[in-house]
Chains A and B, each alone.
Chain A
Amino acid sequence: MQAQAEGIRTVFSDPTNFNVKHPLYSPWTLWFDSPATKGRNLPQTPVSSFPQTPAPPTPGATAAQGWMEDIKRVISFDSVEEFWGLYNHIVPPSQLPQKANYYLFKEGIIPAWEDEANKNGGKWSIQLPKEKNRHNVDKMWLYTMLAAIGETFDPSPTSGESLEPSQHSLITGVIVSTRPQFYRLSIWTRLAPIGAGGEDDKLRERIETVGRHFKTSVLGYSESQKLAAPLSTEVEFLSHKDSEKKGKAAKKIIV
């Protein structure tokens, strides 16, 4: 064991000749779309490069496929070192055109609510006025990505022993969106509380912990800070099923 440990060179001890890298909890894929990417025919489109699901297509899945033609798969990575190589060569949110989105999702999960991993879930999100946050948004997005790939959003990603390993963590992906007046950051979760009851209460608590971590450690607000204002929202959670019910009173959770 001693000999093995001595042979290990990280990027810190030898930046040009390291022989080990830091694997991530899960591999991740970065996706992008903007009005300019719509209808572009690329050699590598997500629909054709993505493994087809064996299940018969449902109306939802078909709709998702149409939308998926407009979203571009950028790259996948599975180590800390590769993440930073990408980060250092990609355009930060403050420099993106309007109506653009980055989606960083676990490999194998399509960034759409129709995906098996997302359909019973929901999202934490916050909307921030653009003018005031032009200088913050890049750091907020970086910290959001780091909490996602470092797997620190979910306090207990390994809970639920009966589930598949890939099911353990609540987080499926994170999104940053640029709009003419604001930015939006979102954290997507695999599950969402549906009502009341023992297991559901536990899940609700776990979801709320994710939201509080997002608000305080990632975005840098204090726990009790009120954020809602013209063009901005609180840090709020909504299940994808409730998001669909436009108009009806949705059960939001706010931290």
Chain B
Amino acid sequence: GPLDISAAKRDNSAAPLSALATAKNIERLQDVEYPEGVRSPREDLNKDAKDGKFRYDRDFLMQFMQLCKEKPLNLPPLDILGIEPVDQASFNMTRGGSGRHRQASGT
């Protein structure tokens, strides 16, 4: 059948890019309620926090790894910078989660 172009277009304007671009900085960590099962940042690191200068422990930070996969809009092409993986095949295998935007930019 005909190619479903509309689906591809919708995919290009996927929400996460605009979500990150328009998201505001958290001003007070106390205002944030995390869903059940998500750890909050360690409180002792932020008891004197002011001006939005927060400290975050590793356990808290690691929870973002699988959620924040959007390629940064202002990331230059890595090969131009000389950042080229020596073993492309295994690089792609271990970094499988980022396929969609890579393909989108390559075609």
Q: Name A residues whose Cβ lies closer than 8 Å to a Cβ of B.
A: 1, 4-5, 8, 10-13, 15-26, 32-34, 36-37, 40, 42, 44, 72, 74-75, 77, 79-92, 95-97, 100, 143, 146-147, 149-152, 157-158, 165, 217
Q: Is the CB of B25 within 8 A of A23?
A: yes
Q: Is the CB of B86 within 8 A of A96?
A: yes
**Which of B24, B56, B68, B80 meets A85, CB within 8 Å?**
B68
| Distance A72 CA – B69 CA, assembled complex (angstroms) | 23
- Once A and B bind, how many residue pairs between them come within 8 Å at the CB atom? 175
B-side contacts of A8, CB under 8 Å = 26, 31-33
B-side contacts of A1, CB under 8 Å = 31
Question: Assuming A1-B31, A86-B72, A89-B71, is B26 touching A20 (CB within 8 A)?
Answer: yes
Q: Is the CB of A143 within 8 A of B58?
A: yes
Closest chain A residue to B69, Cβ basis: A88
Taking the nearest CB of chain A, how far is it from the CB of B35, in angstroms? 5
Q: Is the CB of B55 within 8 A of A157?
A: yes
Of the candidates A37, A80, A157, the one having the most CB atoms from chain B within 10 angstroms of its own CB is A80
Q: Name B residues whose Cβ lies closer than 8 Å to a Cβ of A.
A: 14-16, 19-20, 22-26, 31-35, 38, 45, 48, 51-58, 60-65, 67-72, 74-76, 78, 80-87, 90-91, 94-95, 97-98
Sample of 11 further A-B pairs with CB below 8 A, known A8-B33, A18-B23, A88-B97: A10-B26, A23-B26, A32-B81, A32-B83, A72-B81, A79-B25, A80-B61, A91-B78, A91-B91, A147-B58, A152-B57
Question: Assuming A42-B80, A81-B64, A87-B65, is B20 touching A22 (CB within 8 A)?
Answer: no
Taking the nearest CB of chain A, how far is it from the CB of B34, in angstroms? 6
A-side contacts of B71, CB under 8 Å = 85, 88-89
5 contacts between A and B (CB under 8 A): A17-B19, A84-B65, A84-B69, A89-B98, A150-B56
| Distance A157 CA – B35 CA, assembled complex (angstroms) | 29
Closest chain A residue to B55, Cβ basis: A151
Q: Is the CB of B74 within 8 A of A75?
A: yes
Q: Is the CB of A12 within 8 A of B63?
A: yes
Question: Assuming A8-B32, A10-B32, is B25 touching A44 (CB within 8 A)?
Answer: no
**Which of A11, A19, A97 meets B84, CB within 8 Å?**
A97
Closest chain B residue to A80, Cβ basis: B64
Question: Assuming A11-B68, A23-B25, A85-B69, is B20 touching A32 (CB within 8 A)?
Answer: no
Chain B interface main SS type = loop
A-side contacts of B80, CB under 8 Å = 42
**Which of A21, A80, A100, A143 meets B56, CB within 8 Å?**
A80
**Which of B14, B56, B78, B87 meets A16, CB within 8 Å?**
B14
Closest chain A residue to B39, Cβ basis: A12
| Distance A158 CA – B101 CA, assembled complex (angstroms) | 40
**Which of B22, B26, B81 meets A22, CB within 8 Å?**
B26
Closest chain A residue to B23, Cβ basis: A21
Q: Is the CB of B16 within 8 A of A15?
A: yes
| Distance A21 CA – B18 CA, assembled complex (angstroms) | 12
Taking the nearest CB of chain B, how far is it from the CB of A90, in angstroms? 7
Q: Is the CB of B91 within 8 A of A150?
A: no
| Distance A157 CA – B31 CA, assembled complex (angstroms) | 23
| Distance A160 CA – B39 CA, assembled complex (angstroms) | 31
